[in-house]
Structure 1
Amino acid sequence: MVNIQDLFDDAKCYTTIRDMRWPDGVACPHCSSASVIKDGRDDTEPHRQRYQCRGCGRRFDDLTDTIFAGHHQPLRTWIACLYLMGLNLSGLQIAQELEVNKDDARAMIRQLREGIIARRPPVALEGEVECDEVYVVAGHKGHPEAVKKKAGPPAAGA
């Protein structure tokens, strides 16, 4: 059996995150300064680059202030989860494919969905908007007779 996580390369995952996060070069997530120097690698994830900001002096890494930060699952697991979500697999199926606890898989899916929604640009309508008449029968699933019976006979003098 092939483990899907083995198909994802750690180095490529981190390179992709860097390219998507900082298309114009690394910038400090705390003060937005572009005056940043590399400051070694993470002890547990050797492809995770650390940086130090010359503007504010704070340290950060590739995942600081992202939905991937502060979790025990490696980045390739998160990327695999995102891929499997795109295939429309259930949370239980994703947990089985990633060989993680179902509660961990559900938490990862929730966080990824929230992150996607947070990055979605707001919808702005412009120009002329048209709307046709709408007939809504609430709670009677398309049975207008039930609405008439419930209302009873018209009141006298109305």
Structure 2
Amino acid sequence: MTEDDCRAVLERIRWPNGPECPHCGVGSPSVVAIAGKSHRPGLYLCSACRRQFTVTVGTPLEGTKLPLKLWIGAAHLLNSHQPIAVREIERALGVTYKTAWKVVQRLLAGVKNYEGPLRVFGEPVRAHLRPLRPDDRNTLPAWRRVQRKMMRGNYRAPRVPTALGALPAQFFPLATRAHLERTECFICWIIGVGKDEAADSGRH
């Protein structure tokens, strides 16, 4: 699994209908790929706002110097059937504990407002991944209001991301299809698709 393979997977998940500028929201034909040895792979230019971007811009992966393979591998491990420790991710990915811990924390921070059937840390399907104590838009009183809505049964959770089959089995030969779909849904949420558009984009 090369970096180009990983980038192609992320692009297919985030942009099922072709690249879109994360700055102004326009797509083809205003967005073109920038080729050449002087530019890093996966770089695009938006002719509408004249800004450059890659698939990781505006996501928890933006600015990372770690290989995309490591991020996808960590997301896959987090969505295994059994709970997994950071030490296990460290050994499986061949990185230091500090790196593994930072990757896990950044991935989980990307789903802190999610309420849906993602099986992070082996959560059973019937149980939902509860939103963690929010740090950005929610205060403690706001979180209490959400909890009361959940208890009354009138809390509207964000739409569940739809797996598009973008993560091929050869990435993880021993993984089941269900595991691949959980990983892809998790990545959808991480890179921003799951928050609003995942359900719609999955129908295209």
Shared fold by TM > 0.5? yes
Q: Give how far 1:58 is off.
A: 0.6
Q: Decide which moves more: 70-79 or 84-93.
A: 84-93
Partners in 2 of 1:81 and 1:24 — Cα distance? Answer: 26
The aligned residue for residue 10 of structure 1 is 3
Q: Secondary structure at the match of 1:37?
A: strand
The aligned residue for residue 85 of structure 1 is 78
Q: Give how far 1:117 is off.
A: 3.2
Greater RCO, 1 or 2 (C-alpha within 8 Å, sep 6+) = 2
Partners in 1 of 2:109 and 2:63 — Cα distance? Answer: 16
Partners in 2 of 1:42 and 1:68 — Cα distance? Answer: 23
Of the two, which has the highest radius of gyration?
Answer: 1
Matched residue type, 1:57: R
Q: Decide which moves more: 83-92 or 114-123.
A: 114-123
The aligned residue for residue 111 of structure 1 is 106
The aligned residue for residue 68 of structure 2 is 75
The aligned residue for residue 14 of structure 2 is 21
Residue of structure 2 aligned with 1:37, choices 32, 35, 38: 32
Equivalent pairs counted in the alignment come to 119
Moved over 6 A (4+): 41-45
The aligned residue for residue 56 of structure 1 is 49
The aligned residue for residue 98 of structure 1 is 93
The aligned residue for residue 161 of structure 2 is none
Change (3 A) 1:114 1:44: farther
- Kept in 2, the 8 Å contact 1:41–1:49? The answer is no
Partners in 1 of 2:60 and 2:115 — Cα distance? Answer: 15
Q: Percent identity at matched positions?
A: 26
